[in-house]
Structure 1
Amino acid sequence: MNTHFCHVSAQRPLTVGVLGGGVAGATVALRLADLGINTQLFEASDGLLNGPPICHLHAGGNLYREISDQQCLTLLRQSIDSVRAYPHSINRRPTVIAIPVSDAGDANALLPRLKQVTQEYRRLVAEDPANKVLGEPDDYYRCYTREQFEALAKRPMPAKAQSHDDWLIPLAHHVEADKLKFPLILVQEYGWSLFRMAATATLALQDSPYCQLLLNTRATELLKQPDGWLISAATSAEGTEAARSYKVDFLINACGFRTGVVDDMAGYARKRLVEYKAAYVTHWHTSGNWPEVIFHGPRGTPKGMAQLTPYPNGVFQLHGMTESITLFKNGLAASSIHSAQPQLPLAYQTQLNHGWQDADIYARTQEAITHMARLLPAFADATVAGKPLFGAQQIPGSDPSLRAADVTFEGSHYARVEIVKASSALTAANRIVAQLASLGWLKWNCPELPPRLSPQLAITSQQSAKQVEATAVKLAKERGYPIALALNMG
């Protein structure tokens, strides 16, 4: 261990700079501030969690047939921790995994993985009862035969879903059994509200004496020093821009799809992919409490996966894994030997920086509606309810199927957070804390660091569900989205 660093930590508290206020940067800042570590969070926009669409917890990875069982188990553990860190951000409704007859897949092929995930969930609950955030382990998933599905289609629509069967009845009323392979699988993968996550982080970090929240502030230059970094940053306010320098002992690059820009500024090479994606906001007059529905399909083809995510008041978010909906032609870019930052086509960069034109919003949302109506015919009556949720997703390395990733380090003063799914953010934060502790830098800030950090954060546990929802509604309005995306469901 470097004795110089130990000497510094014994003389004064550590200061950590976090670049980027998306889900990764905000979660890292929450963890550090919760431990009493002085944190400066730099975010170029006017609010936290302004990144790619988040709607699904991924507690078991059942959306993805192509990823490894180990990634699924990792996503389960990370998701449970994330629910405990963001206690008022979850929409508690199940997800139905359906395989159309036009798809080559077999629903039974998912069962060995589901059994593994259930066993791991059962083990985690036995280890700590507070981990029981996805319902009873024995209810993690349930299979439905064709006969059971057809019987549910004859039952009246319940006023409120109170059982597994109740959640499946709306689907049974609207989808012909002949279009599906069986069994159908209902799994306790919940929804995740991006706006309630943003509200949780905003409220907690604004109130924390250990976090300096620097919105509308972007780093313009990084100067590496023997004992840390000097950050030159520009803050925009009311049409003016002010420059200032900040000295930090440790720098965390959590800039999402722009992580490569900061790597270039810091002088570090890194291989990564960036994928541009969008999800679409629609309104559909229907009845019943809908589950999320995943119709599996081959990615990137006209019959790619269709994802229906319900919110209150008839609002549904859509993904369609085709190039005319969620995916984009040439929307996957790789870094080069000249830069750690992948370069997306100019049209996508323009949308990321300036938003979408009305014609593009309508055309691609209508494509999403039509794609869903292939399997759910009544959905053809859905209408455009707002602008898309869009952004670019970073993927470290060169494997576009990677879904579980967290943090890497460069030297003793720099960490790079690269998450593919939001649930990996707390894991990244914990690894950073462990790294700081191993360097002896936390003896001043938190001399009695426990051997295992609880996923529950004091600064988010103090908030009420009502307070979080009210702030989330305000954020949704400010960002031009239907407030239904912010409301609690289930």
Structure 2
Amino acid sequence: MNEYSISAPTSPHSLRVGIIGGGIAGSTMALQLAELGIHVELFEAGTSLVNGPPICHLHAGGNLYREISDEQCITLLKQSIDTVKVFPHTVNVRPTVIAVPQHDSSDPAALLPRLNTLQAIYQQLVKDDATNEVLGDPQHYFKLYEQEDMARLAQCATPDVPTTLDDWMIPVAKQLNLDSFKFPLVLVQEFGWSVFRLSATAQLALSRMPNCAVHTHSKVTHLQQNAEQTWTIEYQTQPSPEAEHHTHTTQVDYLINACGFQTGTIDDLAKLSRERLVEFKAAYVTHWAECDGIWPEVIFHGERGTPDGMAQLTPYPNGYFQLHGMTEDITLFKQGLVSSTAQSAQPQLQDTFIRKIQQGWPNDEATLRSERAITHMSRFVPHYASATVGGKPLFGAQQIPGGDASLRAADISFDGQRYARTEIVKASSALSAAHSVVDKLIEEGLFTYHDSEQMQALTLPVTRAVSANDVETKAVALAEERQYPMALAQPFSYPIAS
């Protein structure tokens, strides 16, 4: 049997699980349960899977977020390692540079204890299991660069293809005004992640599992828990805006709410309360025709919500870059962070944000914010001022459980009877959430492993068997379908030579 004909085993169980929401959380949940042989009904209101907020970074250690706890960083590191092993063709293998501008109040030395901790944990994880070495050589998890190091690299020729850590720093050294930064700069093996290749992998793998029914264009409109604790799901299908909608019902034994920023709407239908935040954010697609060399990702630290907010430069092939600027004029929005109430578990975004999510952006606003992002980046990389708008924004709303807007490591919660809600903030937490659901099903006596082959399904062999070529082909088609440059779907991988 070749990799193109692998299918999940026929379920020895009669267990049926309903998953509402086909984003990264719901799709990962469906992949895990279907590979175990469980019958899955996956409902997605949109046209395809994994089409939500922008994903561009693996967060393997959470080094972008200096404000979060070490515990969250360690959790993100472990979750990211597990995720790379399952979705090997979705990662853009290149490092990330962290730079602290002179105007920022922090000291780069404050980053070092966390980096040392993460490196030691990564080394131990690789020592325990060699297959965990997916973020490069643990000895080279990060490297520090003083000003004299950068000045030396600025005199070097830019390599056509970077093969060493120093090679990655050469374009950065040539473009930055070194007097504008505190030292050391940090290069860390934080990799990129392609939302389009994630979507492609999920759709290709689920299409090979006959025990998973994927319902796109399907909006859940009513839930009813029955006396025997099963759930009746009522949903409407509408293949196109012009078509009539049709109402259907199905029954499942267990319900998973994976609706992303709309998770609260399903909580309300299920009559379950929950405190959460929802934040609308955007990133911007730009094209830098004068780009010299192959760049790493670069993070310029700054105080969130101020004009000096963090700037993030994420590279893709052919001179395309995705930009974040953590100011209210760029990535963040006034009134873009809202909370749930005692009356509803669903935070209510303003209509202007809902229209963006459902109908897209007005061209003038998309252009204005993209140009602001370019201007913000040119404060740190002066020649970036020549970049142009490269496509429409990547955007969406992100839920955060509880009331702490800085929370980054979260996965799942359980409530009521036979009900779970995924509450991931970072996509790398999705697999952890799926494993927690499997544990819960076992705990409640709804699922047991029947043989070692079924236990092996926890490693998602069907998903891992999807070929890199198939993933890229499907991802490029998805980018075109969603009207984004194909570069955002293509691999951007340059492993460091050992």
- What is the TM-score normalised by the length of structure 1? 0.96
1:435 Cα deviation from its structure 2 partner: 0.3
Alpha-carbon RMSD across the aligned residues, in angstroms, is: 1.4
Cα distance between partner residues in 2 of 1:477 and 1:64: 32
Q: Show the counterpart of 2:231.
A: 229
Choose from 473, 485, 489 the match for 2:476. 473
Q: Show the counterpart of 2:284.
A: 280
* Residues 404 and 419, structure 1, Cα contact 8 Å, conserved in 2: yes
Cα distance between partner residues in 2 of 1:347 and 1:439: 43
SS in 2 for 1:240: coil
1:116 Cα deviation from its structure 2 partner: 0.5
Q: Show the counterpart of 2:4.
A: none
Choose from 330, 337, 358 the match for 2:335. 330
- What is the TM-score normalised by the length of structure 2? 0.94
* Residues 13 and 37, structure 2, Cα contact 8 Å, conserved in 1: no
Aligned residues: 479
SS in 2 for 1:77: helix
SS in 1 for 2:105: coil
Is 1:458 the counterpart of 2:461? The answer is yes
1:407 Cα deviation from its structure 2 partner: 0.6
Cα distance between partner residues in 1 of 2:186 and 2:456: 34
Q: Show the counterpart of 1:48.
A: 49
Q: Show the counterpart of 1:346.
A: 351
The residue type equivalent to 1:395 in the other structure is: I
Q: Show the counterpart of 1:241.
A: 245
Q: How does 1:80-99 map to 2 (within 5 A)?
A: 80-99=81-100
Moved over 6 A (4+): 449-455
Q: Which sits farther off after the overlay, 453-462 or 194-203?
A: 453-462
Deviations 1:3-56 (A, max 9, x none): xxxxxxx99510000000000000000100111111010000010011000000
* Residues 24 and 425, structure 1, Cα contact 8 Å, conserved in 2: yes
1:227 Cα deviation from its structure 2 partner: 2.9
Consecutive unaligned residues in structure 1, runs of 5 or more: 1-9
Cα distance between partner residues in 1 of 2:451 and 2:138: 34
Q: What is the percentage of aligned positions where both structures have the same residue?
A: 54
Q: Show the counterpart of 1:488.
A: 491
Q: Show the counterpart of 1:134.
A: 135
The residue type equivalent to 1:368 in the other structure is: A
* Residues 36 and 454, structure 2, Cα contact 8 Å, conserved in 1: no
Cα distance between partner residues in 1 of 2:205 and 2:457: 17
Cα distance between partner residues in 1 of 2:392 and 2:113: 39
Q: Show the counterpart of 1:393.
A: 398
* Residues 430 and 453, structure 1, Cα contact 8 Å, conserved in 2: no
Q: Show the counterpart of 1:4.
A: none
Q: Which sits farther off after the overlay, 342-351 or 92-101?
A: 342-351
* Residues 29 and 430, structure 2, Cα contact 8 Å, conserved in 1: yes
Is 1:438 the counterpart of 2:443? The answer is yes
Choose from 410, 417, 423 the match for 1:418. 423
* Residues 70 and 114, structure 2, Cα contact 8 Å, conserved in 1: yes
Distance 1:420 1:452, change over 3 A: farther
Deviations 1:309-356 (A, max 9, x none): 000010000000000000000100000001000011111111111110
SS in 1 for 2:420: strand
1:454 Cα deviation from its structure 2 partner: 7.5
Deviations 1:215-238 (A, max 9, x none): 111100000112310000001124
* Residues 82 and 455, structure 1, Cα contact 8 Å, conserved in 2: no
Deviations 1:350-405 (A, max 9, x none): 11111101001100000100000011010000000111000000000000000000
1:451 Cα deviation from its structure 2 partner: 11
SS in 2 for 1:269: coil
* Residues 13 and 38, structure 2, Cα contact 8 Å, conserved in 1: no
* Residues 18 and 41, structure 1, Cα contact 8 Å, conserved in 2: yes
The residue type equivalent to 1:232 in the other structure is: E
The residue type equivalent to 1:108 in the other structure is: A
Distance 1:13 1:449, change over 3 A: farther
Cα distance between partner residues in 2 of 1:335 and 1:449: 44
